[in-house]
């Protein structure tokens, strides 16, 4: 009897863990195919050697198709212009959205940046895909940035991965230049994203 009680408690715990992880993410039961990484030069893999951009590394870790839809220099404005062709047309299961660094550098107003991001998330979710927001500005662009990301993630029930560049750009062994990682840095980004999205996929 005691063994059955322990088993029962364990099963309840597992169900609660699954509920807590998955129920708040919109489209957790997505029937789409593969993953799309949608962003700027950090998604493209600027500074890495061939096959060491983070989407390629994710594909290896997950044993799953991962499309790299990163374009160097892109802002959220550019993302909105190409989201139909590069993302929505491919029926993805999950989309990792990584924008805002170039917006900050080009001094695009914050209100517009986050309105654009919110539109992207909504458009992807309307296609029944899960959305992950990969945030790069925490620690670099000020607290207001991460708070706005949190607001979108909560509003849209998207998964937020804050500060994917944490510790990379301050470590010469992890960066290729002042704003881009090297192979080792991209491996760290891939590891951070992999650990967060794995529960959504298996």
Domain chopping of the chain, boundaries: 27-201
pLDDT bucket at 78, cuts 50 / 70 / 90: very high
Residue 3: Cβ-neighbour burial (10 angstroms; 0-12, 13-18, 19+): exposed
Share of the chain above pLDDT 70, in %: 88
Statement: residue 153 has pLDDT above 60: yes
Q: Which residues pair with 70 in a beta bridge?
A: 39
The per-residue pLDDT for 142 is: 78
Statement: residue 30 has pLDDT above 60: yes
The per-residue pLDDT for 9 is: 45
CATH of 27-201 among 3.90.950.20, 3.30.365.10, 1.20.1340.10, 3.40.50.1110: 3.40.50.1110
The per-residue pLDDT for 7 is: 45
pLDDT tens digit sequence for 161-177: 999 999 999 999 999 99
CA–CA dist 49, 153 (Å, integer): 32
Any residues with CB less than 8 A from the CB of 152 and at least 6 apart, and which? 114, 117, 118, 121, 133, 158
Residue 181: Cβ-neighbour burial (10 angstroms; 0-12, 13-18, 19+): buried
Average pLDDT of the chain is 90
CA–CA dist 64, 58 (Å, integer): 8
The per-residue pLDDT for 2 is: 56
């Amino acid at each position: 009897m005691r063994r059955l009680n322990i088993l029962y408690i364990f099963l309840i715990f597992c169900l609660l863990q699954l509920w807590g992880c998955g129920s708040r993410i919109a489209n957790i039961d997505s029937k789409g195919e593969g993953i799309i990484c949608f962003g700027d030069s950090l998604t493209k893999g600027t500074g890495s050697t061939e096959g060491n951009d983070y989407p390629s590394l994710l594909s290896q870790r997950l044993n799953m198709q991962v499309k790299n839809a990163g374009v160097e220099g892109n802002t959220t404005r550019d993302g909105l212009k190409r989201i139909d062709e590069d993302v929505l047309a491919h029926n993805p299961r999950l989309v990792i959205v990584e924008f805002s660094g170039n917006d900050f550098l080009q001094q695009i107003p914050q209100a517009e940046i986050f309105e654009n991001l919110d539109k992207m998330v909504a458009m992807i979710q309307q296609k029944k895909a899960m959305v992950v927001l990969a945030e790069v500005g925490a620690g670099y662009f000020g607290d207001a940035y991460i708070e706005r990301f949190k607001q979108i993630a909560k509003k849209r029930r998207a998964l937020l991965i804050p500060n994917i560049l944490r510790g990379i750009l301050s470590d010469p062994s992890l960066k290729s230049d002042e704003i881009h990682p090297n192979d080792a840095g991209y491996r760290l980004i891939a590891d951070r994203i992999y650990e967060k999205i794995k529960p959504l996929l298996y």
